[in-house]
Structure 1
C-alpha cells in the first residue's frame, strides 16, 4: 500500500510539473515540437537509440554477471527495448526496468539479485551522466554554472552522510543494517571490481553521448540554431532532470528543466519545451521495436509436477 501511494505521488508530481510548464509556456510549444518531426529525424533518432540501447544492455550484462545472474547481450538488448517502450508509456518512467528485472529474475531463480542488477546498472549510468554533466558545466558557460559549486558541495555532503550512516549501522541486526550490508557488497562486487567498472563507465559514456546527440537533434528540428557548445551543457542538465523519479512516463521534470534552461540561456522557454517534446516523441518512436519483443515474449513454462509414488510418468 505504501509503495502504491509513493508511486502515485511521483506520477502526480510529474503530471503537475508538466501542467505548470504547459500553462506558463503555452500549448503551442507542444505542437511545435511534434510538428517539427519528420521521417529523417525519426530515423536518425532510431539509429541513435540502437547505440544507446546496446550500450545500456552491455552495462547490464556486466553488472548482472558480477551478481551471478548473467544474461547474454542479445537477450539484454531485447529486454532493454521492451523496458524502454514500457517506460515511455507507463507512469513513473521506471516500470519497464522493474519488469525486465522481474522477468530476468524468474528465468534465473534469483529475482532479488536480478532486480538489484537492474537498479545498480541504472544507478551507475546516472552517476556517470552526472559526472559528465559536472565536467561540461565547469568547462562551458551555462545558466547552471554559477550554482555548480553549491550543487557539488550539496552532493558531496549527502554522499558523506550516507556513507557514515551505512558504516555505523553495518554491525546491527536491524533490517536497515542488513540492507546496508547488501548495498556495500553489491557495490564492491558489481561496480568496483576491475573487470566490471571500466566497461560500465565506457557503456555509460556512450549511452550519455547518444542521449545528448538525440536531444541536440531534437533542438535542431524545432529550429534552435545555437552552437553545440551552447546546447551541450543544456542537454546534460535536461537529461539529469529527466532521470528524476518524479515523472509521468518520462514527462514532467524534463520539460520543466528544458523550458527553464533554454529560457535562461536566451534561447526561449518555448524552444526548450518544444525541444523536450520532440525528444520525448523521438524516444517513443525509437522504442517501438519493444512491441515486437512484447509480442513474442512467452512466459517460461511451469515445471511439471513430479509423479506421485506408484504413478507412471507421462511420456
Structure 2
C-alpha cells in the first residue's frame, strides 16, 4: 500500500514538472492570461501567441530568466496599439524586472498591485491614456530605477511616498494633470539623476531639499504654476547640466556667479517667469553652456557683451522650446 501511494506521489510530481516544462510557471502564465483578458483590443496581433499551444517564454514580448528559466522577468509590449486596462494580476509576476507598455492606448488606473514587484527595475507606461492617481505603493518597488509615466491623464498629487524609493534614478511625469506640489521628500532620492514634470498643474515652490541630490543632472518643471524662487541649493549642484523651469510664476534674481560656479550647465530655460535684476556678466563664461532662454522676464541692465562669443554657445535662443524627458531616457 505504501509503495502504491509512493508511486502515485511520484506520478503526480512528474505531471506537475512536465506541465511546468510545457507551459512555464503556472502563476506567471495565469497572470499573463489575465493581463491579456484586460487588453480587449489587440489590432497588431501581438498577443496571438499567448495561448496554451506555446510555452510562456515563447509568447511575444515575454522574456524569461536564465537563473529561473520558467519565470517571467520582462514584459515588453510597447508600440502595439493595445487598448484596454492593465490587470491587477500583473502584480503576481513576482520575478518581473522590466515592464514596457509605452505607446499604446491603455486606459484605466495604474494598478496598485505593481507595488508588490520588489524585483522591478524599469517601468515605462508612457504615452497612453491612463488616469487616476499615481499609486503611492510604487515606492515599495525597492529595486526600481526608472519610472516613466509621462503623456497620460494622471491626476492628483505626486505621492510623497515616492521619496522613499531607494534606487530611483529617473522619474518622468510630464504631460499629465498632476496637482499639488513637488514633494520635499524627493530630497531623499540620493540616486536620482533625472526628474521631469513639465506640463502639469503643479503649484508651490521648488523644494530646497532637491539641492541635496548629489547626482541630479536633469531638472525640468516647465509649464506649471510654480511660485517662489529657484533655491540656491539647486543652482549650486555641480552635477546639474539641464535646468528648465520656464512658463511658471517664479521670481527672484540670478546668482552673480552663474557661469563661474556652474561649469557643467549646458541648458538653461527660464523664459516666461518674473525674474528680475541683471543678467550675470559671468554667465557667458559657462564653458559647457549650449542653449539658453531668458526671454519674457523682467531683467534689467545690459545683455553681457560676450554672449555668443563662446564656441559652445553659438546662439542665445529666444525660443520657448522644451524637450521631452523621453528623449533623455537611456
TM-score interval (norm. to shorter): under 0.3
TM-score (norm 1): 0.21
Relative to its length, the structure with more strand (as a share) is: 2
- Bigger RCO (CA 8 Å, 6+ sep): 1
Provide the TM-score with structure 2 as the length reference: 0.20
